[in-house]
């Protein structure tokens, strides 16, 4: 490994950046003397210390080379926050370094006007990144789990990072400059797995902005992986995700208007219509949820609680194929360190999603007694930001199971993230995540049985009903 580092440049020369994103002036931002030689033990200042208030990017409409996922993993030190982050996250953040290359503009200069917005096509924000798993052993090992499968949590982290890069591209004007705005993940509509993703076959992720409101935008990301058998013409689409980002003024924190979008192709127009429909449905759901608070059908609650009461009051007579929600719970606690921050100084949303996924996976694993198979992430709202220094507690449980199809039982996991401040004696919910898993067909063929899960309290019963209703509304 030492030899690997010795033979590698501190700036990856193999990176092929989409839309001419490059590192040609990154060194001049970081080093006062670009000709100076640095040893592997040299102290390298963080790029954040040199950030400029303007962002630049080539917004050329023509497609270019995708980002190489393995372009940044061989550096001994990362120049961006989050040295622990996935190779793809680092590569994307390095690609965004060009946003801060406006060296002839000094901090405190006249701000770029909030006016002068333009309309852009989806193709102008399109970005892709490649994972050369078949030939890049080091990259492949970064994404392999103990079962020789893909680490989905790391892939989810990469999706959020790629969505952030796409959002910055869309907000750039024709001169390659963006106003000093902050772009943050507002929500994830759904991450849906279409087919298993292999860890030893090349894959790519691409995405573009598909819908824009006044200060928010939605982008669709697709994970593509072709079959190993060249003779097969199977659909390469493996995963679909829809992310929503919002823009905030960097100085006032208020919502900031962004470039509008002009779909050109029939497919782009269809995606815009679908995103518009999702946006309207989400607004209606928020109104319905407010009106349904404490107005759940008492009969549904009693039905759910019937079996749970037997567990509590008559445990010797309870169904051995069932279990209480509270007996499936796991939790994790962590301090949010500076290495986990994004370029705005707050905890990276992709990191939170990865930690939530890993806890959900562990919960499903210990509940099922077999390695779970990921199916989807349901709608996620990022309610409150998480800052460096926050004490984060994640609590998970199996909320309910769906056993209508014995060969493909569904395990629905809830993960609730709490931002806790011991000095202030406060604890607030920052995020709620909902994951769906199943188990392999081989496990069920070998006699594995997934248990039913029941609530023991009215509060648990309400949570189950809310999730079931939300799933039904998404399906409809």
Q: Average per-residue pLDDT in the chain?
A: 77
pLDDT tens track for 293-316: 555 678 888 888 888 888 888 888
pLDDT tens track for 177-212: 566 788 888 889 889 999 999 999 999 999 999 999
The alpha helices in 329-410, defined as continuous H runs, are: 349-368
d(C-alpha 40, C-alpha 71), whole Å = 18
Cα dihedral value 105, 108, 109, 112, nearest 10: 90
Range with the poorest average pLDDT among 142-156, 255-269, 332-346, 431-445: 332-346
Does position 236 have pLDDT exceeding 60, yes or no? yes
Tell me the mean pLDDT in the region 50-72. Answer: 51
Higher pLDDT, 302 or 92: 302
Q: Which two tokens stand for residue 174?
A: 């024709």
Q: What share of the chain is helix, strand, coil (3-state, %, to 5)?
A: 35, 25, 40
Look at residue 393 in the predicted model and tell me its pLDDT.
95
pLDDT tens track for 394-405: 999 999 999 999
Of the ranges 87-96, 151-160, 359-368, the best mean pLDDT one: 359-368
- H-run or E-run covering 120: strand 119-120
Percent of the residues in the chain that have a pLDDT greater than 70, as a whole number: 71
Tell me the mean pLDDT in the region 278-306. Answer: 73
Burial 285-298 (b: 16+ CB within 10 A, else e): beeeeeeeeeeeee
Of the ranges 87-96, 247-256, 359-368, the best mean pLDDT one: 359-368
CA angle 347, 348, 353 (to 5 degrees): 110
Sequence-ordered list of residues with C-beta below 8 angstroms from that of 432, at least 6 positions apart, any chain: 380, 381, 383, 414, 415, 416, 417
- Residue 468, classified by CB atoms within 10 Å of its CB into exposed (0-12), middle (13-18) or buried (19+), is middle
Q: Which residue is associated with the tokens 């709202």?
A: 381
Q: Which domains does the chain have, with CATH numbers?
A: 2-285 (3.10.129.10), 294-475 (3.10.129.10)
Look at residue 71 in the predicted model and tell me its pLDDT.
66
CA angle 58, 60, 64 (to 5 degrees): 95
| SS3 of 104-132 | CCCCCCCCCCCCCCCEECHHHCCEEEEEC
Does position 248 have pLDDT exceeding 60, yes or no? yes
Does position 230 have pLDDT exceeding 50, yes or no? yes
* Cβ-based neighbour number of residue 371 at 10 Å: 16
Pair 239, 245: CB distance under 8 Å: no
Helix (H, G, I), strand (E, B) or coil at 356: helix
Q: How far is CA 269 from CA 117, 119, 272, in A?
A: 21, 15, 5
Pair 182, 59: CB distance under 8 Å: no
Does position 268 have pLDDT exceeding 50, yes or no? yes
Look at residue 117 in the predicted model and tell me its pLDDT.
83
Q: Which two tokens stand for residue 358?
A: 């890993």
Tell me the mean pLDDT in the region 466-470. Answer: 86
Rg of the chain on CA atoms, in Å: 24
CA angle 126, 129, 135 (to 5 degrees): 155
Look at residue 296 in the predicted model and tell me its pLDDT.
60
Tell me the mean pLDDT in the region 62-66. Answer: 62
Higher pLDDT, 220 or 113: 220
Percent of the residues in the chain that have a pLDDT greater than 90, as a whole number: 42
Could you tell me the end-to-end alpha-carbon distance of the chain, in angstroms, rounded to an integer? 52
Tell me the mean pLDDT in the region 342-351. Answer: 80
Q: Which two tokens stand for residue 241?
A: 């995700």
pLDDT tier at 131, thresholds 50, 70, 90: very high
Look at residue 49 in the predicted model and tell me its pLDDT.
32
Higher pLDDT, 290 or 418: 418
Higher pLDDT, 184 or 365: 365
Range with the poorest average pLDDT among 87-91, 124-128, 216-220, 338-342: 87-91
């Amino acid at each position: 490994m030492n030899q690997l580092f010795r033979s590698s440049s501190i700036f990856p020369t193999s990176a092929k950046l989409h839309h001419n994103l490059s590192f040609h002036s990154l060194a001049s931002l970081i080093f006062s003397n670009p000709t100076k030689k640095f040893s592997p033990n040299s102290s390298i200042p963080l790029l954040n210390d040199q950030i400029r208030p303007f962002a630049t990017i080539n917004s050329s409409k023509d497609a270019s080379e995708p980002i190489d996922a393995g372009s940044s993993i061989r550096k001994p030190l990362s120049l961006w926050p989050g040295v622990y982050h996935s190779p793809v996250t680092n590569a994307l953040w390095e690609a965004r370094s060009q946003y801060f290359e406006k060296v002839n503009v000094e901090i405190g200069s006249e701000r770029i006007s909030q006016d002068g917005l333009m309309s852009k096509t989806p193709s102008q924000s399109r970005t892709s990144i490649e994972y050369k798993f078949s030939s890049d052993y080091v990259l492949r090992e970064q994404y392999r789990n103990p079962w020789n499968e893909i680490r989905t949590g790391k892939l989810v982290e990469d999706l959020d990072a790629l969505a952030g890069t796409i959002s910055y591209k869309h907000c750039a004007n024709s001169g390659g400059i963006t106003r000093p705005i902050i772009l943050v993940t507002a929500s994830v509509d759904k991450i849906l797995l279409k087919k298993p993703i292999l860890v030893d076959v090349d894959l790519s992720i691409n995405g573009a902005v598909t819908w824009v409101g006044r200060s928010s935008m939605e982008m669709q990301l697709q994970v593509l992986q072709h079959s190993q058998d060249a003779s097969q013409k199977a659909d390469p689409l493996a995963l679909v995700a829809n992310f929503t980002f919002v823009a905030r003024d960097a100085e006032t924190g208020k919502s900031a208007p962004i470039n509008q979008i002009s779909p050109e192709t029939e497919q782009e127009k269809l995606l815009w219509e679908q995103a518009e429909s999702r946006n309207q449905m989400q607004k209606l759901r928020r109104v319905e949820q407010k009106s349904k608070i404490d107005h759940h059908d008492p009969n549904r609650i009693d039905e759910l609680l019937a079996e749970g009461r037997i567990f509590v009051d008559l445990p010797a007579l309870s169904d051995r194929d069932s279990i209480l929600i509270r007996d499936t719970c796991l939790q994790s606690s962590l301090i949010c360190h500076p290495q986990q921050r994004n370029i705005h100084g707050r905890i990276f949303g992709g990191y939170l999603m990865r930690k939530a996924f890993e806890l959900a996976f562990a919960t499903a694993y210990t509940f099922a007694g077999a390695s779970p198979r990921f199916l989807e992430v349901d709608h996620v709202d990022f309610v409150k930001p998480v800052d460096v220094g926050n004490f984060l507690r994640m609590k998970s449980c199996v909320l309910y199971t769906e056993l209508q199809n014995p060969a493909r039982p569904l395990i629905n996991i809830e993960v609730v993230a709490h931002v806790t401040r011991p000095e202030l004696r406060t604890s607030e919910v920052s995020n709620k995540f909902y994951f769906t898993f199943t188990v392999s067909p081989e496990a069920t063929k070998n006699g594995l049985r997934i248990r039913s899960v029941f609530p023991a309290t009215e509060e648990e019963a309400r949570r189950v009903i809310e999730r079931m209703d939300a799933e039904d509304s998404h399906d409809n």
